[in-house]
């Protein structure tokens, strides 16, 4: 049998459904791969081997009973540690939640379980999804399978690295300012951020409620669409969930795979052109766009004059919401408790716990947000940022009157070496320069491999109007016919 | 500052004009909590009516309860408010262990109902109390601080938190400042809360029981000299009964006047009403006001009540208590003054229910305002909590009407009912209190009395009917008061041929 860890999720689902391989064999192969390489990659914070094998066996029994299986039944998946998983540790890569086992499953976990998918474990991330490198994980960084001296992106570096290193064919990420797409770009994987409200946030530990969006991390566009279809759709437990059916995304991915983009209008954002993408990144993206043109797409330049204010607006809105969302970690009900020795007051216990339990980037954002929401500053900061958000949304709407999708580099630079951007938060924030506008607007966007620059992956970002996720899948799948999935160099200790 | 004796209330209102304001919280009686499906019953074991949402577990999200929104709109309509066509929930951020998320979902600058009024009657005058806003929020949990002297968090060695109450829908009703009521200010405050309670009860959206905390009231009070700007106000909390509302305003007016008289200034602060002494004590100062960092809750979508729905709710509003009371007054055929006593005693609904259970309005009124009001007064209980129900009273009166109980016996039976011995019929049976109406037994008792008092009997036979009283007394004694005196008298007269 060929190495099942190299197969796509779509292939694995088909093979398991046809009885060519058992779900348990597939799961064991991935657990073996994790055991072999995760010591170097550190994509996982927790591996639930027992639970995974039990889930795989349940699928095999169901098949043996003649039950009809879904397209991803028995396919393993890694889950970002910000998603609540019943009975399985969920830490958000923070000391403050060390050892917390949620008594409930996130909606998307319920759907993943109902689809017969097999959770392998929980993946590493920047603490509370704040960061672009996983260097802010309280449990040590994840390493990029393309170069173990470099970052895998963030915040969802663990999910992206797990998929890139063949530890899992699929993973779940969450995208608040680029946390699915930027790791996808720098690890050579596909990272899809659905329309805000198109995937449920119930059970996603909130960073910034108006921006957080769970979505797929995969090696192929079709796999992303298949996973998106499993987790997507209205959830009555999330008030911001859109009460409408998902667009036909799997169909769109299959249509794109025919390699025909005739009639598709692609927009290039003029205001992004001058902004600092590395030359190698810019070149790879240019080539990818030329490839799209060869497939029949028409390219148009559009203007989005307010995009330049996206980064500052984001760094007011997201920290403001975070400062409130993270208040609940107060040592009273769960998680870490420091100073409960009869010598300290309740207030002191809360302070000591938060002091010890939160890392530097989380504290920085809580302070930023607390300031931005405080009386007398609210209008100047949070209020103003909301106005910018409206202007950016209007820019998108105007652009989508002219074009079907917008494209750009996913991130301005390839995977950078550890420690090179932690001393200057702004340099780190720049990693999300191209991804943040979409979050402020709420539309879908996907990052797909667009080749290499100096031997490291580059991502092309494709943005679409809200609830037109199908468009980005079509264009992404078409590009895949020209630029096939990338394979990282072999990791030591493994035969690949 | 010299210490002066506390001024008399009449002197205070001669020198100062009070301005009052009331903030009332009403726990809605919805089946489920504001943002989750947990039950809302009062008195369950601690932390048994909770889920990831109302415990604020990481990842959980709120979904607004439509029944609570409807109830709030109906309260707003009953208070003559405008209903917002679009509004939002906001987060009120502060750290406290009884708040699972360390923020409360409330409403800030976009309340659901605004700008209404409520007319209340005080001593024949109608006072219009302006309503600033009516908004919807979630209740907090309850904390119990142990080991300290005060029961407050400071000094406690241990604190217990019960989250059953966390997330119960809470409606906050804020009045505009009420000025110009002078000496009537305390009564206006009480009349407002009473009227508000009756309105909310008539809507059926809350049981509005102050003693269980489903109706809570904070009272703002300030004084100013005539012609001056309004004074600095204090906010009095822990006001847990209608009577306390009135007492709190009165005592705060007296306290502030005594400070001002001595040349002092009023500190803007929270004060706590002391039920035992009837005065207020300083709580935390508001000088360092907490910055709640309100912002629209991004987890919830804006609330946009369909105007057609609001119109539907408006059309289905019940009769306002004032109108209802006037109708009852006419039905009962009593004067406005008599009706006022009924209202003051908090007996309107009790009498209404007693009449509905079959008693005549006069009889119902007689029991509730007489024997039962006296008893409630003695024990300090609300009339409705006195131990007898409208059904009991109606049954008691029926027994009297049927001649099975005398008035005097009925009062004894009522004592038994109030003491929890059961319904009137059960008390009658258990205590053996029924009127002796068996004429055979009575005749025997009468004959015995006549035989034992031949001199008296002869006087009666001779036409001195008044002398029969002694014989009646003897018979009543022999029957331990369980005979009807009138019947006994008639029997004696007929046996002696005096009729």
Strand B169-175 to B17-27 pairing: antiparallel
Tokens 């890139």 belong to A164
Asked if residue B358 lies in contact with residue B394, where contact means CB atoms within 8 angstroms, the answer is yes
Asked if residue B135 lies in contact with residue B111, where contact means CB atoms within 8 angstroms, the answer is yes
Among A11-25, A310-324, B403-417, name the one with the lowest average pLDDT.
B403-417
Tokens 């909310």 belong to B200
What are the tokens at B117? 């009024």
B369-407 tens-digit pLDDT: 999 999 888 887 888 888 899 999 999 999 888 888 888
Sign of CA dihedral A110, A116, A117, A119: positive
Domain ranges of chain A: 3-258
Chain A residues close to B293, C-beta within 8 Å: 323-324, 370, 373-375, 378
**Average pLDDT over every residue of A267-294:** 92
Which chain B residues in 98-117 lie under 8 Å from chain A, judged by CB atoms? 100-103
Q: By the CB < 8 Å criterion, does A377 face chain B?
A: no
What B88-91 contacts at long range (C-beta under 8 Å, 24+ apart), as own/partner pairs, is: B88/B296, B88/B297, B88/B300, B88/B302, B88/B303, B89/B64, B89/B136, B89/B296, B89/B297, B89/B300, B89/B303, B90/B294, B90/B295, B90/B296, B90/B297, B91/A324, B91/B293, B91/B294, B91/B295, B91/B296, B91/B297
ipTM above 0.90, yes or no: yes
- End-to-end CA gap in chain B: 84
The conformation of residue B87, written as its DSSP 8-state character, comes to B
Query: From the list A92, A239, A332, which residue is nearest B62 (CB)?
Result: A239
- What average pLDDT does chain B have? 90
Chain A residues close to B299, C-beta within 8 Å: 206, 209, 239-240
Sign of CA dihedral B431, B436, B440, B445: positive
Q: In what order do the strands lie in the sheet with A44-47?
A: A44-47, A118-123, A76-80, A170-175, A213-218, A190-193, A445-453, A456-463, A405-409, A265-269, A298-302
Asked if residue B239 lies in contact with residue B248, where contact means CB atoms within 8 angstroms, the answer is yes
In the annotation, is A155 catalytic?
Answer: yes
Query: From the list A103, A328, A373, which residue is nearest B295 (CB)?
Result: A373
Q: Which of A444, A441, A466, A447 is nearest to A181 (CA)?
A: A447
Query: From the list A202, A208, A346, which residue is nearest B61 (CB)?
Result: A202
Indicate which residue of A94, A133, A155, A408 is catalytic: A155
Strand A76-80 to A170-175 pairing: parallel
Query: pLDDT-derived band of residue A1, with 50, 70 and 90 as boundaries?
Result: very low
Query: From the list A92, A208, A330, which residue is nearest B95 (CB)?
Result: A330
Q: By the CB < 8 Å criterion, does A381 face chain B?
A: no
Query: From the list B56, B159, B295, which residue is nearest A320 (CB)?
Result: B295
Q: Which of A6, A46, A11, A48 is nearest to A165 (CA)?
A: A6
The conformation of residue A192, written as its DSSP 8-state character, comes to E
Gap from A327 CA to chain B (nearest CA, Å): 6
Q: By the CB < 8 Å criterion, does A206 face chain B?
A: yes
What are the tokens at A424? 């200057």
Decide: helix, strand or coil at residue A71: coil
Gap from B143 CA to chain A (nearest CA, Å): 12
Gap from B151 CA to chain A (nearest CA, Å): 15
Asked if residue A100 lies in contact with residue A177, where contact means CB atoms within 8 angstroms, the answer is no
Alpha-carbon distance B107 to B86, whole Å? 12
CB atoms closer than 10 angstroms to residue A5: 22
Going from the C-alpha of A28 to that of each of A5, A41, A121, A141, the distances in angstroms are 10, 19, 13, 25
Asked if residue A59 lies in contact with residue A118, where contact means CB atoms within 8 angstroms, the answer is yes
In the annotation, is A80 catalytic?
Answer: yes
A321-334 tens-digit pLDDT: 999 999 999 999 99
Alpha-carbon distance A335 to A353, whole Å? 9
Tokens 């459904």 belong to A17
Domain B439-495 has CATH 1.10.10: yes
Per-residue pLDDT at A2: 67
Burial class (CB in 10 A: 0-12, 13-18, 19+), B147: exposed
Alpha-carbon distance A124 to A91, whole Å? 9
**Average pLDDT over every residue of A4-32:** 98
Chain B residues close to A350, C-beta within 8 Å: 95
Decide: helix, strand or coil at residue A364: helix
Domain ranges of chain B: 9-310, 333-416, 439-495
| pTM for this entry | 0.88
Cα dihedral A53→A54→A59→A64 (10° resolution): 100
Q: Which residues contact A230 (CB under 8 A, 6 or more apart)?
A: A70, A72, A111, A112, A115, A117
Burial class (CB in 10 A: 0-12, 13-18, 19+), B80: middle
> Quick check: A494 pLDDT over 60?
no
Chain A residues close to B55, C-beta within 8 Å: 333
Q: Which residues contact A481 (CB under 8 A, 6 or more apart)?
A: A257, A259, A295
Alpha-carbon distance B428 to B424, whole Å? 6
Based on its alpha-carbon atoms, the radius of gyration of chain B, rounded to whole angstroms, reads: 30
Gap from A324 CA to chain B (nearest CA, Å): 7
In the annotation, is A179 catalytic?
Answer: yes
Q: Which helix (DSSP H) or strand (DSSP E) does residue B234 occupy?
A: strand B234-239
Q: By the CB < 8 Å criterion, does B55 face chain A?
A: yes
The answer to whether the CB atoms of A373 and B52 lie below 8 A apart is no
Phi, psi of B234, deg, nearest 5: -115, 155
Decide: helix, strand or coil at residue A193: strand
Closest residue of chain B to A351, computed from CA coordinates: B95
CB atoms closer than 10 angstroms to residue A275: 15
Going from the C-alpha of A393 to that of each of A247, A304, A310, A431, A468, the distances in angstroms are 21, 10, 10, 21, 15
Chain B residues close to A91, C-beta within 8 Å: none
Chain B residues close to A236, C-beta within 8 Å: 63
A138-153 tens-digit pLDDT: 999 999 999 999 999 9
Which chain A residues in 228-247 lie under 8 Å from chain B, judged by CB atoms? 236-240
The answer to whether the CB atoms of B59 and A204 lie below 8 A apart is yes
Per-residue pLDDT at B343: 86
The answer to whether the CB atoms of A202 and B60 lie below 8 A apart is yes
Mutate to test the interface with A, among B38, B58, B289 (most CBs of A within 10 A): B58
Q: Which of B258, B129, B272, B116 is nearest to B190 (CA)?
A: B129
Q: Which residues contact B493 (CB under 8 A, 6 or more apart)?
A: B460, B465, B468, B499
Buried b (16+ CB within 10 A) or exposed e, B179-203: eebebbbbbbbbbbbbbbbbbbbbb
Q: Which helix (DSSP H) or strand (DSSP E) does residue A294 occupy?
A: helix A279-294
Alpha-carbon distance A169 to A226, whole Å? 12
Which chain A residues in 316-375 lie under 8 Å from chain B, judged by CB atoms? 320-321, 323-324, 327-330, 332-334, 342, 346-347, 350, 370, 373-375
Per-residue pLDDT at B487: 81
The conformation of residue A22, written as its DSSP 8-state character, comes to -
Calculate helix-pair angle for A107-114, A221-231, nearest 10 degrees.
110
What are the tokens at A276? 């600092």
Asked if residue B256 lies in contact with residue B221, where contact means CB atoms within 8 angstroms, the answer is yes
Per-residue pLDDT at B494: 80
Alpha-carbon distance A175 to A182, whole Å? 9
Gap from B291 CA to chain A (nearest CA, Å): 6
Chain B residues close to A239, C-beta within 8 Å: 61-64, 299-301
Alpha-carbon distance A402 to B434, whole Å? 95
Q: Which helix (DSSP H) or strand (DSSP E) does residue B171 occupy?
A: strand B169-175
pLDDT tens digits, chain B, 499 residues: what are they? 445 556 789 999 999 999 999 999 999 999 999 999 999 988 899 999 999 999 999 999 999 999 999 999 999 999 999 999 999 999 999 999 999 999 999 999 999 999 999 999 898 899 999 999 999 999 999 988 888 777 777 777 888 999 999 999 999 999 999 999 999 999 999 999 999 999 999 999 999 988 888 999 999 999 999 999 999 999 999 898 999 999 999 999 999 999 999 999 999 999 999 988 888 998 865 555 689 999 999 999 999 999 999 999 999 999 998 899 999 999 999 998 899 889 888 899 899 999 999 999 999 999 999 999 998 888 878 888 888 999 999 999 998 888 888 888 888 899 899 988 999 989 888 887 777 666 677 888 888 888 888 888 888 888 888 888 888 888 888 887 778 888 888 888 888 876 6
Q: How many residues does chain B have?
A: 499
Give the 3-state secondary structure percentages of chain A, helix then strand then coil, rounded to 5.
45, 15, 40
Alpha-carbon distance A434 to A427, whole Å? 14
Going from the C-alpha of B456 to that of each of B463, B465, B469, B479, B480, the distances in angstroms are 11, 10, 10, 20, 21
Mutate to test the interface with B, among A79, A332, A344 (most CBs of B within 10 A): A332
Q: By the CB < 8 Å criterion, does B61 face chain A?
A: yes
What is the assigned CATH class of domain A3-258? alpha beta
Mutate to test the interface with A, among B38, B61, B97 (most CBs of A within 10 A): B61
Going from the C-alpha of B299 to that of each of A98, A240, A377, A496, B59, the distances in angstroms are 25, 7, 23, 45, 11
């Amino acid at each position: 049998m060929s190495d099942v860890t190299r197969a796509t999720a779509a292939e694995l689902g088909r093979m398991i459904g046809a009885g060519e391989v058992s779900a348990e064999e597939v799961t064991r192969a991935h657990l073996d791969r994790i055991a072999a390489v995760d010591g170097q990659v550190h994509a996982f914070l927790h591996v639930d081997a027992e639970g995974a094998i039990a889930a795989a066996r349940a699928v095999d029994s169901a098949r043996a009973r003649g039950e009809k299986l879904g397209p991803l039944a028995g396919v393993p998946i890694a889950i970002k540690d910000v998603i609540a998983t019943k009975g399985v540790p969920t830490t958000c890569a923070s000391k403050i939640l060390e050892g917390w086992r949620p008594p409930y499953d996130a909606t998307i976990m319920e759907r993943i379980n109902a689809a017969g998918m097999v959770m392998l474990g929980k993946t590493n991330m920047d603490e509370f999804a704040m960061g672009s490198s996983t260097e802010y994980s309280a449990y040590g960084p994840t390493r990029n399978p393309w170069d173990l001296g470099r970052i895998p992106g963030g915040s969802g570096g663990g999910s992206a690295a797990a998929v890139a290193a063949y530890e899992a064919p699929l993973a779940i990420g969450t995208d608040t300012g680029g946390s699915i797409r930027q790791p996808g770009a720098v690890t050579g994987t596909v990272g899809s951020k659905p329309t805000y409200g198109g995937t449920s946030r119930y059970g996603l530990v909130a960073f910034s409620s108006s921006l957080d969006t769970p979505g797929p991390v995969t090696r192929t566009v079709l796999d992303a669409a298949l996973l998106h279809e499993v987790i997507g759709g209205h959830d009555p437990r999330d008030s911001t969930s859109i009460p409408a059916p998902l667009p036909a995304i799997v169909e769109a991915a299959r249509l794109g795979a025919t390699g025909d983009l005739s009639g598709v209008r692609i927009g290039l954002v003029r205001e992004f052109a001058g902004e600092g993408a590395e030359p190698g990144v810019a070149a790879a993206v240019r080539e990818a766009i030329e490839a799209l043109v060869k497939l029949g797409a028409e390219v148009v330049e559009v203007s989005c004059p307010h995009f330049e204010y996206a980064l500052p607006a984001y760094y007011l809105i997201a920290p403001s919401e975070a400062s409130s969302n993270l208040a609940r970690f107060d040592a009273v009900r769960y998680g870490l408790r420091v100073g409960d020795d009869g010598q300290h007051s309740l207030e002191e216990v809360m302070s000591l716990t938060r002091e010890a339990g939160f890392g530097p980037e989380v504290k920085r954002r809580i302070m930023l947000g607390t300031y931005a929401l405080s009386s007398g500053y609210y209008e100047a900061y949070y209020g103003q940022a909301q106005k910018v958000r409206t202007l950016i949304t209007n820019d998108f709407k105007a652009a989508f009157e002219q074009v079907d999708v917008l494209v750009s580099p996913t991130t301005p630079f390839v995977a950078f070496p550890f420690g090179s951007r932690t001393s200057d938060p702004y340099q780190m924030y720049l990693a999300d320069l191209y991804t943040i506008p979409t979050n402020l607007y709420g539309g879908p966007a996907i990052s797909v491999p667009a080749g290499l620059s100096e031997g490291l992956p580059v991502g092309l970002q494709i943005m679409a109007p809200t609830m037109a996720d199908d468009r980005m899948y079509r264009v992404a799948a078409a590009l895949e016919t020209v630029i096939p999935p990338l394979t990282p160099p072999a990791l030591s200790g493994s035969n690949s | 500052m010299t210490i002066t004796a506390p001024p008399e209330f009449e002197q205070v209102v001669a020198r100062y004009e009070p301005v009052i304001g009331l903030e009332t919280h009403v726990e809605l009686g919805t089946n489920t909590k504001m943002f989750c499906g947990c039950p809302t019953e009062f008195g369950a074991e601690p932390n048994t009516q909770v889920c990831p949402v109302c415990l604020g577990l990481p990842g959980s999200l709120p979904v607004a309860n439509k029944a609570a929104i409807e109830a709030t709109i109906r309260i707003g309509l009953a208070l003559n408010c405008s209903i917002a066509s679009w509004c939002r929930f906001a987060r009120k951020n502060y750290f406290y262990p009884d708040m699972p998320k360390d923020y409360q979902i409330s409403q800030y600058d976009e309340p659901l109902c605004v700008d209404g009024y409520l007319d209340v009657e005080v001593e024949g005058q109608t006072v219009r109390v302006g309503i600033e806003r009516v908004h919807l929020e979630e209740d907090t949990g309850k904390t119990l601080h142990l080991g300290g002297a005060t029961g407050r968090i400071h000094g406690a060695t241990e604190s217990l938190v019960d989250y059953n109450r966390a997330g119960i829908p809470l409606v906050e009703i804020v009045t505009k400042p009420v000025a110009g009521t002078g000496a009537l200010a305390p009564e206006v405050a009480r009349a407002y809360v009473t009227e508000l309670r009756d309105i909310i009860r008539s809507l059926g959206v809350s049981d509005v029981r102050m003693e269980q905390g489903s109706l809570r009231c904070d009272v703002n009070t300030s004084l100013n000299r005539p012609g001056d700007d309004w004074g600095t106000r204090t906010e009095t909390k822990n006001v847990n009964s209608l009577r306390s509302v009135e007492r709190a305003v009165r005592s705060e007016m007296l306290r502030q006047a005594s400070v001002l008289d001595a040349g002092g200034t009023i500190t803007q602060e929270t004060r706590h009403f002391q039920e035992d002494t009837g005065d207020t004590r300083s709580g935390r100062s508001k000088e360092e006001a907490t910055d709640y960092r309100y912002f629209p809750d991004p987890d919830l979508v804006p609330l946009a009540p369909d105007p057609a729905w609001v119109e539907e709710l408006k059309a289905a509003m019940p009769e306002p208590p004032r109108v209802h009371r006037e109708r009852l007054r006419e039905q009962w055929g009593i004067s406005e003054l008599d009706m006022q006593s009924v209202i003051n005693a908090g007996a309107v609904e009790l009498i209404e229910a007693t009449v509905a259970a079959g008693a005549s309005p006069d009889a119902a009124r007689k029991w509730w305002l007489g024997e039962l009001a006296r008893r409630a007064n003695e024990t300090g209980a609300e009339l409705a909590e006195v131990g007898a129900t409208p059904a009991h009273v109606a049954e008691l009166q029926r027994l009297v009407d049927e001649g099975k109980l005398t008035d005097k016996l009925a009062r004894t039976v009522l004592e038994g009912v109030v003491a929890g011995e059961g319904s009137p019929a059960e008390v009658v049976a258990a205590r053996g209190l029924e009127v002796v109406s068996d004429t055979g037994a009575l005749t025997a008792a009468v004959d015995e009395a006549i035989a034992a008092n031949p001199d008296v009997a002869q006087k009666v036979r001779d036409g001195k009917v008044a002398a029969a009283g002694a014989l009646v007394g003897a018979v009543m004694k022999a029957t331990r008061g369980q005979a009807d005196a009138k019947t006994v008298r008639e029997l004696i007269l007929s046996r002696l041929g005096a009729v």
